[in-house]
Structures are given as structure tokens and as C-alpha cells.
Chains A and B, each alone.
Chain A
Amino acid sequence: MNFKEIVQPSSLEEAYEFLANHQKSVIIGGGVFLRLQKREADLGIDLSHLSLSYINNGAREYHIGAMTTLRDIETSGFLPKCMVESVRQTGGVGLRNMVTIGGSVCGKYPFSDINTALLSLGARLIFFKKGEIAMERFLGGNYMLNDILISIVVPKVDYSTCRYFKHTYTDFSLVNISVSSGENVRIAVGARPGRSVLVQDINTKHTSEELLDQIEFKDDIRGSGAYRRHIAEVMLSEILEEGLLWK
């Protein structure tokens, strides 16, 4: 993506003013995937001067600033396993030092591994003007918010893990699965190749095949829906066989 101008606001109010007053403006998080998009915008709004890079370890929740990089998540040492594992093979270290969690969420990228992890954890998104929106609702909607993501709230869970299948170590996932259990069990599937979605009807007696019957898998140039479905079943079976999800 090409920008005619890039501004670096020093406050959220200033950033929002730019966003509200310029029709063809785009918020820049890490800017990595924007780089690959072949379109032009009048104004890029760079959020890197807003002190939105932080991970706070609260009593019941983690608060993660929107400009926190995937490498910061990988090396945090205390975030849920499914988050940490989901980002470990997202490109190389150089890329993970640039890609931000906020950019990944707001891009609603269907190939994203971190979005599947956040969905499985029941994360909530905090926007500057519109306030709190559940990750599930945000990913499910087709609307684009004219707002700035400030932070992501991740509830603490008892257990979480994830699986993904890639052709090569740093490639996009062909399909990914993330699960968590705390107050309830959540299973999310992504890179189907559509956006991450939750398995709605979860029963401890369900097999991986029955659980994934609720999820739609599709074909694309990288693999067929049937292939993705088969891989997903194997990955979810592995997780269920570990026996930690239903505790």
C-alpha cells in the first residue's frame, strides 16, 4: 500500500481526529501486511508514538496494548500457551518484531494464527470511541469500525493449547486450531481458509469429527477443504487425547 502522507500522532485524540477527518486514511499497526496490498491511501496514521506497546499481567486478565509485537508475546514468559505457541512460527524473528497484535486483529486476516488463539481465549477488544467489543463479534461482523483499537483483554484460563499445519516452518497455516478451558471450554478453528470461528456446540462426549462438523472448510490454491478438514481432525484428536481440555 502506498501512502501520500504518513502522520505520527502523539495522542489518541489526535490520531482519532486524523481518522475522522480523512476519508481515505488507514491506520498503520506493524504495517507488514499493508505493505503487500496494492492500493493507495491519502493518509497513513502511524500509532507507534502512542505508547500502546505493553503487556500487563492483571489478577484475572492480561491487558495487551494494540502495538505490542508478536515477538513480545512470544517472549513474554507468562501469556497463555496457545497465544505464545500460535505466534512462534509466524514468519521469522525480524517479522515478528514488526507485526503487531492490533494489526493482526483489525486486519481480520483469515490466515492469522494469533486471531484463532484470541478467539479461543474469549478475548475482548477495547476501542477508543466504541469501547469494548468481543473478539467473536468483531471477527464475525462484516462491518469496518472507524475507530482505533487500544488494547486487547485476555481472560486468564486454566488450560490452553494450539495446533497449526504449515507447508514450511514460517509459512502461513493451512489450518489452525486453538482451545482453552476455564469457566467454559472454547475451541476455535482458523485458516479454513476463512476467518477464525468458534465451535458452538461443545460436549465432552463429542469426537473431533463431530465437533468439526459444525465448521465449514473451503478450497483455495493452497489446499482443498477436505484436506484441511482431515488435518484439523487429526490436530483436534491429538488435543482431546491429551485429556487436559475437559478437566
Chain B
Amino acid sequence: MEIMLTINNQKRRLLIEPDEYLLDTLRKAGIKSVKRGCDTTSCGMCSISVDNKLVNSCSYYSIRAVGKEILTVEGIPEEAGLIADFITAEGAEQCGFCSPGLVMAIHSMKHDLDDFSMENIKHYLAGNSCRCSGYEGQHRAILKYLEVK
């Protein structure tokens, strides 16, 4: 079936299977920042924003995204670059596979939270796994990034 999606402020006409998930649709559309990790809604590698809400695209039906604003790392290049700089400076960028999902989670967190205590940050980002960094470097980077922003 054919649907029209708004991806990073651009209208895209796409052919999908009826029960296709947004992760597959986005990757077919050339949005390669969105990664397939666990494929069971557990790891957060596929995190994107739909209508300003963080979702796991591996379990979000593409058909449900019609008429909504889909945002990926490609849509926030300056913000993503800045977050990546802070993560790199803290030595928390290793394999990099989780980074796009983490960047989108940080982007959503900035809009969702009023109080950026470490407890709240850890709670918000608990769904974004990283198998390399041990999280400490990521947390330092996020705190420094939030100070700047």
C-alpha cells in the first residue's frame, strides 16, 4: 500500500506492507541512522520522535505515522553534532551503534523533563542500552551538554 509520511519535515510517498514497522520503512527511505538492535522494543537503538514523543520505531506501525511528524537524527544535524561532540569528549563514543537512538532520546528528554537531576536523566534514558560505555561517560556528557543548552 502507498502512504505519505512526513520525515524530517519532508513529505515522502512510500510503498509499505500493511503491517510494516517504521524502522523498516525509514531504512527503506534512506534514513540509515535508525538502527535495528534487539527488535523487541527493549534496547532503544531504533528510538525516533513521532509528534514530539519518543518511540521505538521497531514496534511502531508505519500506518500509524501517517499525518504525524517523524523526526530522526538526520532532521536535527546541528543538535546531534553537538551532543556527539560532548559524548566523544567524554570517551563515551565507542562502537557508536546506540548513538543515534541516544541522541533522539536526549532530544525528547529536553522537551519532556523540567528537572534534569541525574536520577531523572537515568530514569528517562533507561530504555536506551549501550553495551560499550558503561553509561558513566554518557551521563557526564549529557550533564555538560545540558549545561551548555
Contact = CB atoms under 8 A, between A and B. Distances in A.
B127 A5 contact: no
Given A92-B44, A93-B54, A46 B18 contact: no
B99 interface: no
The number of chain A residues touching the other chain, given as a range, is 20 to 34
Given A5-B18, A91-B127, A94-B127, A32 B41 contact: yes
Contacts of B61: 6, 28, 31, 46
Given A89-B126, A92-B44, A6 B19 contact: yes
Interface size class of B (residues with CB under 8 A): 20 to 34
Nearest to B53: A97
| Dominant secondary structure of chain B at its interface with chain A | mixed
B55 interface: yes
Interface of B: 18-19, 21, 40-42, 44, 47, 53-56, 58-61, 63-64, 105, 108-109, 112, 123-128
17 contacts: A3-B19, A5-B18, A6-B18, A6-B19, A28-B61, A32-B41, A35-B58, A46-B63, A48-B64, A88-B123, A91-B42, A91-B127, A92-B44, A92-B125, A92-B128, A94-B55, A98-B60
Interface of A: 1-6, 8, 28, 31-32, 35-36, 44, 46, 48, 71, 88-89, 91-95, 97-98, 169-170
